[in-house]
Structure 1
C-alpha cells in the first residue's frame, strides 16, 4: 500500500479526478491519502512547484494543505493568530511534511500540529503577562521533504519585516533533507528547536563541532537512549545480537552505532538487512540463525525503521523455536507500531517481548514516582489543556492520541522555543534580536530549565538535552502500548539543579 501511495504523487493535472476517486476508495479501506490540490487552490505563501502535485511553502492562514485530519487544529491556530494584536507578537514556524500521504506520516504530523498549537495557546493565555505573544505558521517541505531549499529560504526571509520570525520548530524525522534544511536555517542565524529528531549526526557537539549553530533539541540522541536502555535492561553483550539496516539513514545508522557499543563482545556478528521487497525473506533467514544460537542468546537489538521492525516481528511470530523467549529492544520508531494494523499482534503472545525507547508516554509520570527529572504535576498541565481542547476557546482540535508521544514532545519543543524567545526579550523590547534567542539555548538549565510534560529539558552548551527521561514502553498483544519504566542516560535522574557536568 505504501508503494501505491508513493506512485500516486507527481501526476499531471488531468489525473486529479482519478486521484480523488482513489482517495475515496482508500478511505473506505481505512487508509487516508492527501489529495493533491491544483496550483490555483494553494494558499497565500504556498505554491505548487513546477511538475509537482502538492502545495509547499509557509502558510499563515486556515489552509490545511488538503488533509482533512488537520482541518480542526489549523482552524484553531488561525483563530488564535487573528486574536493577536499587530506588533505584539513574533512568529514561530512548525516545519513538517504536511502533504505526506501515508497514514503514519499523517498521524505523526497531526500530533505534532496539535502539540505545537496547545503550547502556543498556553503561552498566549498565561496569567503572568509575559511577552511577546506567539503566532504559529505552518511550513511544508513536501511529502518527502525535497522542497526544503525553497521553504528554508522563505523562512529566512521572514526574519525581517512584519512576520518577525524568531524560531522554527518541528523537524520530526532524522532525514538527509531535514539535516540539510536545518543546516541552512541555522547557518543563516535562525533558531531551530527539533522535536523528535534523535540521530546523533543531527546533534551539535559531535567531536566538539557545532554543525548546526542555533539548534536546540528536546529528544535524547540515539546514543543517550541506548545508554538509558542499557541501564534499564541490564542485558549482557554475551546474550545479545544486533540486527541493523544497511545502508540505512541518519536515524538507523546512529542507532546501529549506539547499539554496536552495547553489543561489543557478543559472540555473534551483527546481522544486516536491506529495506526492500526482499526484506521479509532476509528476516526469515535471520530468524533461523537466531533459533540456532544457544538458549542463553535471548536479546535482539534492532536498528531500523518501523516498517522493517513490523516485518521482523511478524516473522518472529512464525519462527521455528517458539519455545524460546526473545526480547527485541529498539528505538523510538517502535511507537509507530502502536497503531499499525499490519502488525501480527499474535506474535506478541508467542514468547516474544518488544520494547522501545519512547520520546514520551502519557502514563510515564503517573506511574513512575521519580522525584527529579520531571513530575506528574508538569505532565498534568498538558492534560488540563487537552481536557479543554474539545471546544472553544481552546479547541476543537480533532481526535487526540498520546500513545506515540509525538503530541507531548511537540508541545515541549514549542514551550522551549517560547521560553527562549521570552528570555531573550528584555527591557522595553517587543521583539528580541534573533541572535539573542540563539544564545538562550545554552542557558536553558538550572532554574531556567523547561519543566516539560516529557520531563525536564536542561540543555548543555551545544543545545542537547542532558540526562533526559527515556520512557521504556512495551507493545501489547491487544494493540497499543504499556509503559514499563523511566530510564536515564546517566543511569539515574538528574539532580534537582539539573546542571550538565563539565
Structure 2
C-alpha cells in the first residue's frame, strides 16, 4: 500500500483530537446535567408534603401541614384524613384557621400516644364547633404544625404561622403546645410577641404562664391546665404530706416543668429533715440514658430512712418516673411502705409497656395530678367546678368519632386525659374567636382575640369536659379541678378523687380574684 501524504496524516490526527474533544465535552455536559439533576432532586426530596419539608441536615419533617399528611406516623392517618375532610367542607370566607402545634415527629412512644390523643381531641372540638345547632361563625379550619421532635425548629414554624395570620389563611390562634419545654417556651414567647393568641392544652410550668410576679411575658396566652403550683396545692389539700415524713427527688438541672414542680413541692415541706435527692437525666428526657443507676442508689438511701418517712415527692419527667418506679419495685426494703406523689407526667405511664407494674404490688402507691380523667365527673357528686353532663357531651362525640360521618379517627383512649384537655383547649379557642368577631363579620381582629381571655369567667366560662374553665386576667384557669389518679398493677389508672387548688370547688359564679 502506498504511503499516505503527510497532509492526510495531519488531517487524521486533527479528526481524532476533535472527536476526543467532542467526547470530553459531551461527557462533561452529561456530568454537569447529572449533578444539576441530582441537586434538583435533593432539593425536591426535602419536601415531605405541602407546607412541610426536611430542614437542611435533618430527617425531620417540619412546617405547617394543610393537607391530610400524617407526618409518617400511621397512627395519625385516620384523624389527619378526618380533619382534611372537614377542612374541605368549609365554604370560602366562612372560617378562620387554628394551628395545632405538637411534636408530630417524636419517636418516644409515650409522646406519640399523647400527640395522637391531643390530635383526636382537637378534631372532635373542631367538628362540634362547625356542626353546632346555633350556626355560629367563624367556623374552624384546623392545620397541623410541627417544629420537630424536640421543637428545635420553632423559629421556622413561628415565621410560617405569622405569614398565615396576615394572609388568606386568616390564622387567628395556635393551640396544643403540649409539654412545658424550653423550646416550647421560646415558641410561645415569640408567637405572643407577634400578637398571635396561644391556648395551651397541657402546659403546666409556672414560668410558662402569665401573672408570675405581676408580669405577663406571654400576652395573649390562655391555658386550660392549672400551673404546677396549683397542682401541688391541690395535691397537698388531698394528701396532706407531713414535712418530716416526706422526701423530695428531683431532676437536676431540670426544665420548665420539673423546676417549677420542684419549687412547688419544696413549699409543701418546709423544714423537712430529710435531704433532697437530685438525679441527672439525659438532655433529651425521653431517652433512657443511665439514670436507672442513679435511681437504684436513691432507693438504697430511701431504705435507710426511718419507717416514718413514707412519702416521696417526685419532680421529673415520665421516662425517669418509670425508671424510678421500676427500681423501687426491686428495693431491698419491701416492708417499708411508700406513697409516691408527682405531677401530670404520671399520665404518660398508663400506656407505657416498660413500666414494671409488679412494683405497684410491693407496698408502693403511685398517685399523680392528672389534667383530666374520664371518670372524674361521671358520678355527678360535685355541685360546681364541672358536671357529668359536660362529660356526657364528649362521650357522645367520642362514640360518633368511631365511624362516618364524624370519623373514623382510630382507636380512642381517654385515660391519660390528653384527648379531653385538647378538646377543651380548642373549645376555649372557639369561644374566644367568636366572641371577638364583630357583628356581621366572619373574621375577628387578632388583637381582639388576645383581649378576649380576660372575659372568660362567670357566665362566659367554658364548661369543659375537664372541668370549668374560668380564666383570671392573666389567662390562667382559676381553681381548676385536679383529678388525683393512681396507677394500678392491672394496667391503666384509677380515678381517686377531685382535688382543688383552693381546697374546695369554686363558687357558682366562678369569678377569679384579681
TM-score by length of 2: 0.89
Partner SS for 2:97: strand
Matched, 1:161 2:167: yes
Cα 1:74–1:141 shift into 2, 3 Å: same
Is the counterpart of residue 209 in structure 1 residue 221 in structure 2? no
Change (3 A) 1:41 1:268: same
Deviates more, 1:122-131 or 1:102-111: 102-111
| Counterpart contact for 1:368–1:485, Cα < 8 Å | no
SS in 1 for 2:366: strand
Residue 480 of structure 1 and its aligned partner are, at CA, apart by: 0.6
Q: 2:331 aligned to 314, 319, 322, which one?
A: 319
Residue 357 in structure 1 maps to residue 369 in structure 2: yes
Q: Write the deviation string for residues 57-79 of structure 1: whole angstroms up to 9, x where unpaired.
A: 11111111111110000100000
- Give the unaligned 5+ runs of structure 2: 1-42, 283-288
Question: Residue in 1 aligned with 2:261?
Answer: 255
Q: Structure 2 CA distance, aligned partners of 1:149 and 1:473?
A: 37
Structure 1 equivalent of residue 382 of structure 2? 370
Measured in 2, the distance between the counterparts of 1:243 and 1:368 equals 36
The list of structure 1 runs, each at least 4 consecutive aligned residues, that deviate by more than 4 angstroms after superposition, is none
Matched, 1:141 2:147: yes
User: 1:306 pairs with 311, 318, 330, which one?
Assistant: 318
Shift of 1:136: 0.3
**Cross-structure match for 2:185:** 179
Distance in 1 separating the partners of 2:511 and 2:307:
43
Shift of 1:289: 1.7
Report deviation, 1:102. Answer: 2.0
CA distance in 2, matches of 1:139, 1:278: 33
Q: Does 1:78 align with 2:90?
A: no
- Mapped partners of 1:341, 1:391: distance in 2: 28
Matches within 5 A, 1:185-334: 185-276=191-282, 277-334=289-346
How many Å separate the matches in 1 of 2:297 and 2:401?
49
- Corresponding residue for 1:122? 128
Matched position secondary structure for 1:58: strand
Q: Residue 274 of structure 1: CA displacement?
A: 0.8
Evaluate the alpha carbon distance shift between residue 265 and residue 368 of structure 1 in structure 2; reply closer, same or farther with a 3 A threshold: farther
- SS of residue in 1 equivalent to 2:250: strand
How many residues in Structure 1 have an aligned counterpart in Structure 2? 466
Counterpart check, 1:43 vs 2:49: yes
- Judge conservation of contact 1:198–1:251 (CA < 8 Å) in 2: yes
Query: 2:373 and 2:363 mapped to 1: Cα distance?
Result: 25
Q: Work out whether residues 474 and 481 of structure 1, in 8 Å CA contact, stay in contact via their aligned partners in 2.
A: yes
Aligned residue in 2 for 1:448: 460
Tell me how far apart the structure 2 counterparts of residues 296 and 184 of structure 1 sit (CA, whole Å): 48
Deviation per CA, 1:205-238: give whole Å up to 9, x if none: 1111101000000000000000000000122111
User: RMSD between aligned alpha carbons?
Assistant: 1.2
381, 386, 401: which one pairs with 2:393?
Answer: 381
Larger radius of gyration: 2
Q: Does 1:408 align with 2:420?
A: yes
Q: Which stretch has the larger CA shift, 154-163 or 408-417?
A: 154-163
Verify the 8 A CA contact 2:47 2:54 in the aligned structure 1: no
Q: What residue in structure 1 maps to residue 156 of structure 2?
A: 150
> Which of the numbers 56, 65, 68 marks the counterpart of 2:74?
68
Distance 2:44 2:313 in 1: 45
Whole-Å separation in 1 of the counterparts to 2:71 and 2:56: 17
Contact 2:154–2:183 (Cα < 8 Å) also in 1:
yes
**Partner secondary structure for residue 373 of structure 1:** coil
Q: Partner of 1:69: helix, strand, or coil?
A: helix
Aligned mates of 1:295, 1:101 — CA distance in 2: 41
Deviation at residue 368 of structure 1 after TM alignment: 5.6
Residue 489 in structure 1 maps to residue 501 in structure 2: yes
Question: 1:368 and 1:315 mapped to 2: Cα distance?
Answer: 38
Distance between the aligned counterparts of 2:216 and 2:299, measured in 1? 41
Secondary structure (helix, strand or coil) at the match of 1:412 reads: helix
1:136 match: secondary structure: strand
Contact 2:173 2:429 in 1 (8 A): yes
CA distance in 2, matches of 1:40, 1:269: 52
Q: Which residue of 2 aligns with 1:105?
A: 111
In 1: Cα distance, 2:396 partner to 2:497 partner: 23
Q: How does 1:3-42 map to 2 (within 5 A)?
A: 39=45, 42=48
Change beyond 3 A, Cα 1:188–1:290: same
Of residues 414, 418, 429, the one that matches 1:417 is 429
Q: Is the 8 A contact 1:59 1:137 kept in 2?
A: yes
Deviation at 1:266, TM superposition (A): 1.0
Q: Distance in 2 between matches of 1:394 and 1:122?
A: 9
The SS at the match of 1:146 is coil
Q: What does the per-residue CA deviation read over 1:221-273, in whole Å, with 9 as the maximum and x for residues that have no partner?
A: 00000000000012211111100010011110000000010111211121111
TM-superposed deviation, 1:321: 1.4
What is the match of residue 101 of structure 2? Answer: 95
Secondary structure of 1:87 counterpart: coil
CA contact (8 A) 2:46 2:55 kept: no
Deviation at 1:52, TM superposition (A): 1.3
**Secondary structure in structure 2 of the residue aligned to 1:207:** helix
Question: Is the CA contact 1:167–1:190 (under 8 Å) kept in the aligned structure 2?
Answer: yes
Task: Provide the residue aligned with 2:12 in structure 1.
Answer: none
Q: CA deviation at 1:40?
A: 5.5
* Other structure's SS at 1:309 match: helix
